[in-house]
């Protein structure tokens, strides 16, 4: 078995997009390359300080000007092997078109990349984007529009080429969509009026997809692009902040602000750069208030620059709090990389040898194997956090049971009872100790409550429940993505992030964005996905559905349904047994109270009770009575335990309630009879029955609390629903193999079955996330 010690840890890079002015435009603005380099260095250093242990991947368009400055800034730091600056950065050069056509933007032989030494060129991974489809309709006999070629994109002397502009626009939309952090270098007042320009990229980032954005030309580019997938009409628009390096200040003076944030526009705000106007009828009052607020902010900036939450770097000083708030995905990625570093590394998959063959060269790893390692790490972290949630729920339940028992014992055995309790103490020297312990019961109760709150606060502060559910969702989505890739669904429109959580906001939208970032990181970091066989399903896809070891989905869901139903049924049995015994104790407590009340009015009733008690106590044949009663109660509990419970509807049937209650009555009768045989004191029996009724009832509720928090029943129901679906998929695939003779038709049908099965798996995982993500762990109340 290969050692994991030399394998690189699983990490997800932070994608840092850079867009800015070309060299000729910088010269027109009077902005020197040294100024741009210094401000970019400050922005990169801030990001490095926020996430020192997470890799960063610079995405740039490889033009001269800002792209060249940013790339060389990273190259120089890496090339000099400076461990304190940009040590974990890499560069991906996203060419807007094939290199043959792209080089027309430069004088022959003057493209800065080709002038770099070979060692530095190797630090940049060139990735030309897919060319757009031709805008003209498909010719007769063609199934789809043809793609633009390098010749279509060549620059003609003295003439513009709209196709080149469209491809630069595609590059801008890719940068706006896929960057974790997008850094733009441009004048603050620039407007998005030129396709492919820096301001246009910023507008794509700030506005997202909405009715008034993007413009018609951009929408046409997206429709002809295989790199961009326009969202569904009703999908939630995704917009994000931009880190802006303002240049070209008034009078060509250097701007004192090195880096600021342009905040994303909300869904119903006007598209950037239109100002946001108040709809309040008293808008003049709001305008006056806003003016006063702006004046106060400017004054505060002079006194304390951090008061402006939109300024990230001013005169070399960082505003880290504002930087964190402007990158909502940054903190989750940093947290994942930290957790992955503390998780035992997964071995390279047995079905792929590229990782073991090229341990230090991730670019040469198979993307399938790299994604499987990433999925395994997510799953391992999820299992660990889920176990922590389970242990915390168990401790909270135990503390709740102990605290209820202490409180009830203290209420029933207050001062008047302590002297009787101390009578059997054999050593008089222990009396002060026992008395002190009994008096300290309220303090023990308070201590248990404090411990429960601390346990809950620890679990809530570390987000164990949320991490378990989120990572489970992402891991299962990656599992489906791997299956789709293996059957040839490698286009961007076939990615799982286009299917799940499209209409969500807040944390769910951030989760979908994180899933898309993981998939983008795989594409940018590793080789292309290998082609899939066309005449059959890959073995790993078949094993995903049906396999003995490791278990396929059929075997997994069958085992999970059976094991979870068994655990759920056992927990239900325990809960209902405690409920029933509690009801039985309450029943005999009611009988005791009724007899006690009647005895004060009817002396013959009291004498009759004493006669029965005396007879039981002195009659040898009375001893079997508690045994028979206890056996009857145990028998009813056994009947209760053999029934399979799979849903709350079955659990709360009237027959189950009646049987558990009868079992409690029988067991209570055994206790009453035994108490009478042993000559116990009557008031003591009352206290015992009361305490048993309250504590056992609370115990049953606590068991149900723990069962609900670790979602045993939900897992059983989910697997029971999924099991037949995978079996139907297996049968459908076998039918295709047996009956379909046309190879292309067989391939199409297999692809449709696997796509449908993957969408079912994603829907099931999404439903699980929705039902459990918003039900956080909390202490058992009562």
User: pLDDT grade, residue 280 (50/70/90)?
Assistant: very low
The domain tally of the chain equals 3
414 occurs within a structural domain: yes
Residue 281, domain member (yes or no): no
pLDDT at 606 over 80: no
**Is 340's pLDDT higher than 60?**
yes
Please name the residues in contact with 194: beta carbons below 8 A apart, sequence gap of 6 or more. Answer: 200
Mean pLDDT (the chain) is: 81
Q: Are residues 587 and 498 in the same domain?
A: no
Distances, alpha carbon 687 to alpha carbons 44, 413, 613, 676, 692, in Å: 71, 9, 18, 15, 8
**Greater model confidence, 302 or 288:** 288
* 770 burial type by CB count under 10 A (0-12 exposed, 13-18 middle, 19+ buried): middle
Which region among 63-67, 615-619, 768-772 has the lowest average model confidence (pLDDT)? 615-619
The span from the CA of 55 to the CA of 58, in Å, is 10
Check pLDDT > 70 for residue 141.
Answer: no
* Shared domain check, 186 and 43: yes
Q: First-to-last CA distance in the chain? A: 53
DSSP 3-state of 289: helix
Rounded distance, CA 705 to CA 702, Å?
5
Whether residues 388 and 421 share a domain: the answer is: yes
Query: 453 in helix, strand or coil?
Result: helix
Question: Any bridge partners for residue 182, and if so which?
Answer: 17
Instruction: Please state the rounded mean pLDDT for residues 627-651.
Output: 60
Residue 259 has pLDDT above 50, yes or no: yes
Q: Which of 705 and 374 is assigned the larger pLDDT?
A: 374
Residue 581's pLDDT band (cuts 50, 70, 90): confident
At 638, the pLDDT band (50, 70, 90 cuts) reads low
Q: Tokens representing 405?
A: 């028992």
Q: What's the whole-number mean pLDDT along residues 181-207?
A: 94
What's the CATH code of the domain at 205? 3.40.50.450
304 pLDDT tier (thresholds 50, 70, 90): very low
With cut-offs at 50, 70 and 90, classify the pLDDT of residue 639. Answer: low
In this prediction, residues 721-735 reach a mean pLDDT of 93
Asked whether residue 257 carries a pLDDT value surpassing 70, the answer given is yes
| pTM of this structure | 0.83
Give me the mean pLDDT over the 318-323 stretch: 91
Return the sign of the alpha-carbon dihedral for residues 688, 690, 693, 697: negative
User: How confident is the model at residue 283, as a pLDDT?
Assistant: 52
160 & 269 share domain: yes
The per-residue pLDDT for 429 is 57
pLDDT at 476: 95
**Residues 421-445 pLDDT 10s:** 455 445 455 566 666 776 777 788 7
Cα–Cα distance for residue pair 240/277, rounded to 1 Å: 20
- The range of the structural domain enclosing residue 369 comes to 364-532+740-773
Contact, 425 vs 434, CB < 8 A? yes
Q: For residue 395, what pLDDT is reported? A: 83
Question: CA–CA separation, 2 vs 348, rounded Å?
Answer: 8
Q: Which of 496-505, 612-621, 735-744 has the lowest mean pLDDT?
A: 612-621
Tokens of 380: 């391992």
* 103 shares a domain with 47: yes
Buried b (16+ CB within 10 A) or exposed e, 413-430: beeeeeeeeeeeeeeeee
Q: Are 92 and 127 in contact (CB under 8 A)?
A: yes
Hey, which of 169-178, 307-316, 446-455, 541-550 has the most confident mean pLDDT?
Answer: 169-178
Q: Please give the pLDDT value at position 445.
A: 75
User: Which pLDDT value is given to residue 308?
Assistant: 65
Answer yes or no: do 419 and 567 share one domain.
Answer: no
pLDDT top residue among 82 and 625: 625
In which band, very low, low, confident or very high, does the pLDDT at 652 lie, cut at 50, 70 and 90?
very low
Q: What is the pLDDT, as a whole number, of residue 703?
A: 78
Cβ proximity of 334 and 51 under 8 Å: yes
Q: How far is CA 396 from CA 389, 579, 697, 756, in A?
A: 10, 20, 17, 42
Tokens of 198: 């820096």
451 vs 624, more confident: 451
Do 670 and 584 lie in a common domain? yes
Considering the domain architecture, whether residues 159 and 201 belong to the same structural domain is answered as yes
- What number is the average pLDDT over the span 680-687? 68
* The two structure tokens encoding residue 454: 């601390």
In angstroms, the CA 284 to CA 294 distance is 15
Instruction: Identify which has the larger pLDDT, 338 or 365.
Output: 338
Q: What percent of the chain has pLDDT over 90?
A: 42
The rounded distance, in Å, linking the Cα atoms of 261 and 247 is: 14
Identify whether residues 753 and 689 lie together within a single domain.
no
Largest CA distance in the chain: 122
The pLDDT of residue 381 is above 90: yes
Q: Flag whether 355 is in a domain.
A: no
For residues 255 and 88, the model is more confident at 88
Query: From CA 617, how far away is CA 726, in angstroms rounded?
Result: 65
Same domain as 560, residue 526: no
φ, ψ of residue 344 to 5 degrees: the values are: -55, 130
Say if 718 falls within a structural domain. no
Highest mean pLDDT of the ranges 509-523, 535-549, 688-702: 509-523
Q: Is 90 exceeded by the pLDDT of residue 454?
A: no
Domain assignment present for 541: no
**Looking at the predicted structure, is the pLDDT value of residue 683 above 80?**
no
Give domain status of residue 491, yes or no.
Answer: yes
Peptide bond between residue 6 and the one before it cis (omega within 30 degrees of 0): no
Min mean pLDDT across 60-74, 147-161, 311-325 is at 147-161
d(CA 532, CA 484) in angstroms, rounded, equals: 10
In the predicted structure, residue 87 carries a pLDDT above the cut 60: yes
Structural domain includes residue 298: no
Orientation of helix 506-525 relative to helix 162-178, angle to 10°? 120
Beta carbons of 99 and 46 less than 8 angstroms apart: no
Residues 520 and 424 reside in one and the same domain: yes
> Which range (58-62, 529-533, 621-625) has the least confidence?
621-625
pLDDT score for 290: 59
Residue 492: pLDDT over 90: yes
Top-confidence residue, 42 or 583: 42
Q: pLDDT over 70 for what percent of the chain?
A: 78
Query: Is 161 domain-assigned?
Result: yes
Q: Looking at the structure, do residues 703 and 759 belong to the same domain, yes or no?
A: no
């Amino acid at each position: 078995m290969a050692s994991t010690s030399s394998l690189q840890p699983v990490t997800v890079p932070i994608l840092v997009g850079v867009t800015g002015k070309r060299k000729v435009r910088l010269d027109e603005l009077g902005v020197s390359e040294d100024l741009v380099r210094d401000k970019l260095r400050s922005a990169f250093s801030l990001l490095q300080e926020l996430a020192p242990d997470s890799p960063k991947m610079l995405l740039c368009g490889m033009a001269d000007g800002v792209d060249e400055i940013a790339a060389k800034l990273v190259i120089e730091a890496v090339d000099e092997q400076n461990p304190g600056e940009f040590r974990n950065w890499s560069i991906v050069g996203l060419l807007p078109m094939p290199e043959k056509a792209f080089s027309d933007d430069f004088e022959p032989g003057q493209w800065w990349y080709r002038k770099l030494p070979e060692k530095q060129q190797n630090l940049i991974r060139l990735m030309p984007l897919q060319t757009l489809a031709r805008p003209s309709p498909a010719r007769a006999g063609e199934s789809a529009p043809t793609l633009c070629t390098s010749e279509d994109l060549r620059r003609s002397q003295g003439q513009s080429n709209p196709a080149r502009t469209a491809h630069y626009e595609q590059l801008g939309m890719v940068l706006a969509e896929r960057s974790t952090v997008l850094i733009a270098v441009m004048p603050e007042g620039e407007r998005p009026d030129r396709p492919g320009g820096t301001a246009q990229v910023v507008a794509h980032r700030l506005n997202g997809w909405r009715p008034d954005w993007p413009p018609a030309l951009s929408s046409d580019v997206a429709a002809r692009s295989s790199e961009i997938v326009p969202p569904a009409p009703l999908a939630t628009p995704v917009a994000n902040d931009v880190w802006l390096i303002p240049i070209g200040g008034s009078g060509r003076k250097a701007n004192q602000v090195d880096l600021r944030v342009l905040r994303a526009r909300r869904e119903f705000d006007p598209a950037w750069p239109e100002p946001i106007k108040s709809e309040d009828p008293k808008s003049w009052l709001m305008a006056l208030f806003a003016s006063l607020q702006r004046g106060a902010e400017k004054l505060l900036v002079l006194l304390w620059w951090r008061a402006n939450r939109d300024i990230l770097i001013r005169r070399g000083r960082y505003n880290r709090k504002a930087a964190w708030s402007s990158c909502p995905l940054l903190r989750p990625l940093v947290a994942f990389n930290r957790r992955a570093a503390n998780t035992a590394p997964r071995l390279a998959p047995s079905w792929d040898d590229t990782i073991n063959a090229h341990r230090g060269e991730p670019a040469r790893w198979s993307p399938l194997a790299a994604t499987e390692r990433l999925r395994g790490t997510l799953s391992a972290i999820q299992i660990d956090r889920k176990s922590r949630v389970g242990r915390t729920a168990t401790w909270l339940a135990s503390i709740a049971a102990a605290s209820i028992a202490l409180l009830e014992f203290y209420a029933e055995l207050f001062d008047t009872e302590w002297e009787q309790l101390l009578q059997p103490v054999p050593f008089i020297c222990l009396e002060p100790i026992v008395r002190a312990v009994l008096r300290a019961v309220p303090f023990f109760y308070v201590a248990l409550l404090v411990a429960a709150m601390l346990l809950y606060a620890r679990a809530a502060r570390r987000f164990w429940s949320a991490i378990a559910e989120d990572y489970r969702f992402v891991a299962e989505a990656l599992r489906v993505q791997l299956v789709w890739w293996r059957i040839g669904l490698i286009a961007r429109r076939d990615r799982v992030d286009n299917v799940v959580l499209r209409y969500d906001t807040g944390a769910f939208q951030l989760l979908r964005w994180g899933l898309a970032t993981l998939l983008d990181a795989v594409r940018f970091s590793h080789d292309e996905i290998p082609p899939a066989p066309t005449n059959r399903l890959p073995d790993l896809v078949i094993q995903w559905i049906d396999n003995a070891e490791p278990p396929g989905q059929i075997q997994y869901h069958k085992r999970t349904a059976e094991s979870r139903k068994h655990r759920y049924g056992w927990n239900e049995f325990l809960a209902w047994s405690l409920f029933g015994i509690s009801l039985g104790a309450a029943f005999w407590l009611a009988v005791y109270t009724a007899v006690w009340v009647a005895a004060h009015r009817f002396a013959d009733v009291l004498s009759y009770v004493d006669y029965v008690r005396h007879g039981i106590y002195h009659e040898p044949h009375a001893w079997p009575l508690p045994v028979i009663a206890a056996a009857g109660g145990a028998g009813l509990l056994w009947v209760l335990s053999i029934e399979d419970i799979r849903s709350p509807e079955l659990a709360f049937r009237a027959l189950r309630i009646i049987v558990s209650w009868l079992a409690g009555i029988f067991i209570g009768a055994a206790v009453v009879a035994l108490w009478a045989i042993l000559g116990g004191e009557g008031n003591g029996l009352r206290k015992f029955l009361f305490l048993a009724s309250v504590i056992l009832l609370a115990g049953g509720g606590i068991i149900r609390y723990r069962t609900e928090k670790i979602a045993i029943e939900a897992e059983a129901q989910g697997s029971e629903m999924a099991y037949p679906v995978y079996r139907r998929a297996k049968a459908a695939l076998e039918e295709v193999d047996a009956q379909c003779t046309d190879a292309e038709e067989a391939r199409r049908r297999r692809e449709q079955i696997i796509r449908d099965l993957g969408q079912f798996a994603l829907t099931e995982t999404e439903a699980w996330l929705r039902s459990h993500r918003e039900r956080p762990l909390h202490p058992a109340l009562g």
